[in-house]
Amino acid sequence: MIQTITPIALPEYELIDSGDFEKLERFGKWVLRRPEPQAVWSKSMSVAEWEKLSHATFERKNGEKGDSDSGNWTVKREMPDRWFVKYKHGPLNFTMRLALTSFKHVGIFPEQADNWDFIAKKLSENKQAEKPKVLNLFAYTGGASVAACQAGADVTHVDSVKQVVTWSRENMEESGLDGIRWVIEDAFKFVQRDVRRGKKYDGIILDPPAYGRGPDGEKWVLEKQINELLSMCSEILTPTGFFVINLYSLGFSTLITQNIIKQHFPERTNIESGELYLEDKYEKKLPLGTFLRF
């Protein structure tokens, strides 16, 4: 089944407007202006309105065009170095720390809220394990890890960047949780080792980039390695375990992911897949990657 889903909105998040390859967003009380390569339409608000509302604007290095994420923030009004937002929906109630980074990210991807709810729901339905084991690969600042932990899972969080693992730990602690296992390692190598050891998980979450580097210089190229990685994941996921994958690579069709999943998880029939998006105040739907889950 192919579908398009929109997340439950974070109470402290709002996509105000989008267009002309930019997006205007509110995180808590701070309004940020960031590049967005998929916003090919025109803005609904005037340039003057964007200027008036925004507290900080991300500008690519040397005026780069395209989808490059490297650049700098221009802060027009006094902003803290870090601030916090809460996600509250159903059984989930946790805190995420935000900050302005040199790669335009702020530490949270609001479109993932729907997946956080999906993870909590699947864990609540698990009757096979007293404390289900969940593996989060390419886990970044750990929204999915914190959600799974709060939902009662034994979580292993894997990312190759020490700084974002430290950031994830802060999110866990600010949420009043503990017990997540932190692993700073190349995700591909980690799964290879778990396959050899015969490890099993009741849930696997993946958020792989198009390109990346492991802590020891290991190279990750999505289209070259995703098939083998998902094959290995099929060996370590329990028969009743859940699975979530998000892909942000432009042009990487949901149909590609479906084909790989059908090969490696042929017994699974309850597959949901499609696009994640956010809708601005003017009802323009901004696509923010593809997903597949079961």
Q: How far from 120 is each of 113, 167, 264, 279, CA to CA, in Å?
A: 11, 22, 24, 24
Residues in the chain: 294
3-state secondary structure of 119: helix
- Which of 48, 107, 109, 100 minimizes the C-alpha distance to 73? 100
DSSP 285: E
Split at pLDDT 50, 70, 90, the class of 128 is confident
Domains in the chain: ranges and CATH:
107-293 (3.40.50.150)
Interhelix angle 143-150/113-125, nearest 10 degrees: 30
Model pTM above 0.85: yes
Do residues 164 and 140 touch, judged by C-beta distance below 8 A? yes
Split at pLDDT 50, 70, 90, the class of 70 is confident
Q: Which residues of 217-254 are buried (b: 16+ CB within 10 A; e: fewer)?
A: eeebebeeebeebbebbbebbbeebbbbbbbbbeebeb
How far, in Å, CA of 72 to CA of 262, rounded?
Answer: 42
Mean pLDDT calculated for residue range 236-243: 97
pLDDT tens digits along 136-152: 999 999 999 999 999 99
